[in-house]
């Protein structure tokens, strides 16, 4: 169920950021259309926050360009920011003020009513503690306040950088439900970053996977799953010989232990069995394994970087 339109809200072209020698964001081309929930996925240090900071004009790209609502930041900073709500990296707040007063401060600039403040407090379920000083809030409550701040100006585009950080399971569930409703109920397009694949899988319509600053995948969630070719696992009496026979069919198998593995096999799996059996092999085990999304993610991002 993808209902995104063709209107491009975020586009980047060759977006690059270097800190000294290190390239933290490397030639990233993103395109996010109105109505999408775009999951921006990557392990710690992959460059998600750096990319988001450049999207919001908080940081200048070393190379490449960013356009939001088809405009660049140079002359249209205020026009762009009026339509964007964001939570970057960690919630922002003034600790001596109450949750309500924190929202009140931003409302001066966003020009929203008291009613809207109550509304967003209700949405993130902070109404009851809205008169408490934020320094007395728990981490999860601060995070909710950050989300409320992002929603306050009724933005068309919501950019949330790891919004479920520090929330408990029911809080995570709530925020997730909220994000899912955004395009449908409020017409809000969402970019949400996370290092948690399961989270993105549950909310996103589109996915970008970043690793060491490079965009490894960009497309719909279906395409990500569809990319995924099965792995065939075979147990046969003479593996080395079987491998040669399969090679004649352009099927590349590898021997690991006493098993044969065929990666990225795109023909029908029974054809392997037929071939082996008709050549007199004894096939005692033949399984087609489809990778889980998690394994795809780990393959794309490298297992060591996924912790």
Partner 1 sequence: MDFINVLKMEFLKLKRSYVWLLMCVAPLLMVVFGAYNFVRYQDVFLQGDAVPWQKLLGQIVTFYGLLLLPLSIAVMAVWLARIEHSENNWKHLFTLPLNLKAIYLAKTIIHILLVGISMLILYLGTIIAANIVNVGDIPLKAMAINSLICWATCLPILALQMLLSIRFSNIGIPVGISLAASITSVVITNSAYGKYYFWSLPSLTLMPNSEGMRNLTIPYSLSVSIIAFMCLWIIGYTLFRRQEV
Contacts to ligand ATP by CB under 6 A: 19, 24, 42, 44-50, 195
CB-based contact 155:84 (threshold 8 Å) = yes
Between CA 304 and CA 96 the distance in angstroms is 42
Which CA distances in Å does 209 have to 27, 75, 191, 202, 306?
13, 30, 13, 15, 12
CB closer to Mg ion, 51 vs 98: 51
59 binds, among ligand ATP, Mg ion, partner 1, none (CB under 5 to 8 A by kind): partner 1
Confirm or reject binding of residue 89 to partner 1 (CB under 8 A): yes
Closest CA relative to residue 41, chosen from 228, 220, 217, 303: 217
**d(C-alpha 246, C-alpha 54), whole Å:** 50
Binding residue (CB under 5 A) for Mg ion from 12, 33, 36, 49: 49
| For ligand ATP, the closer CB: 46 or 81 | 46
Give CA–CA dist 214/75, Å, rounded: 28
- With CB under 8 A as the contact rule, which of the stretches 52-60, 64-72, 194-202, 243-251 interacts with partner 1? 52-60
The residue among 78 and 307 lying less far from partner 1, judged by its C-beta, is 78
**Which ranges in 10-163 belong to alpha helices (H)?**
48-55, 73-81, 99-110, 114-123, 139-151
Which is closer to ligand ATP, CB of 41 or CB of 145?
41
In the sheet with 231-236, reading across from the earlier edge strand, the strands are 253-256, 259-262, 231-236, 283-289
- Smallest separation (angstroms) from partner 1 to the CB of 116: 15
Residue closer to partner 1 (CB basis): 108 or 304: 108
Binding site for Mg ion (CB under 5 A): 49
- The site for partner 1 (CB under 8 A) is made up of 53, 56-60, 78, 81-82, 84-86, 88-97, 101, 104-106, 108-111, 133, 149, 153
């Amino acid at each position: 169920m993808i209902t995104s339109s063709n209107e491009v809200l975020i586009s980047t072209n060759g977006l690059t950021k270097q800190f000294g020698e290190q390239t933290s964001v490397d030639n990233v081309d993103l395109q996010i259309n109105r109505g999408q929930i775009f999951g921006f996925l990557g392990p710690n240090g992959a460059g998600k926050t750096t990319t988001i900071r450049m999207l919001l004009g908080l940081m200048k790209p070393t190379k490449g360009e960013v356009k939001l609502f088809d405009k660049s930041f140079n002359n249209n900073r205020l026009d762009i920011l009026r339509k964007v709500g964001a939570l970057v990296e960690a919630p922002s707040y003034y600790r001596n003020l109450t949750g309500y007063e924190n929202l009140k401060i931003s409302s001066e600039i966003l020009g929203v009513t008291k009613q809207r403040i109550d509304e967003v407090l209700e949405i993130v379920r902070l109404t009851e503690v809205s008169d408490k000083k934020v320094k007395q809030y728990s981490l999860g409550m601060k995070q909710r306040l950050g989300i409320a701040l992002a929603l306050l100006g009724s933005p068309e585009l919501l950019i949330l950088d790891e919004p479920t950080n520090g929330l408990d399971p029911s809080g995570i569930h709530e925020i997730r439900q909220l994000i899912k409703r955004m395009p449908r109920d409020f017409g809000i397009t969402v970019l949400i970053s996370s290092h948690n694949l399961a989270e993105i899988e549950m909310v996103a319509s589109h996915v970008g996977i970043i690793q060491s600053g490079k965009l490894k995948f960009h497309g719909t969630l279906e395409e990500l799953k569809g990319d995924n070719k099965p792995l065939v696992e075979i147990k046969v009496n003479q593996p080395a010989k079987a491998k040669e026979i399969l090679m004649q069919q352009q099927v590349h198998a590898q021997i690991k232990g006493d098993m044969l593995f065929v990666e990225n096999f795109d023909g029908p799996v029974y054809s392997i069995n037929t071939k082996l059996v008709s050549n007199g092999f004894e096939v005692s085990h033949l399984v087609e394994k489809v990778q889980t999304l998690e394994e795809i993610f780990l393959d794309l991002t490298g297992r060591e970087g996924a912790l």
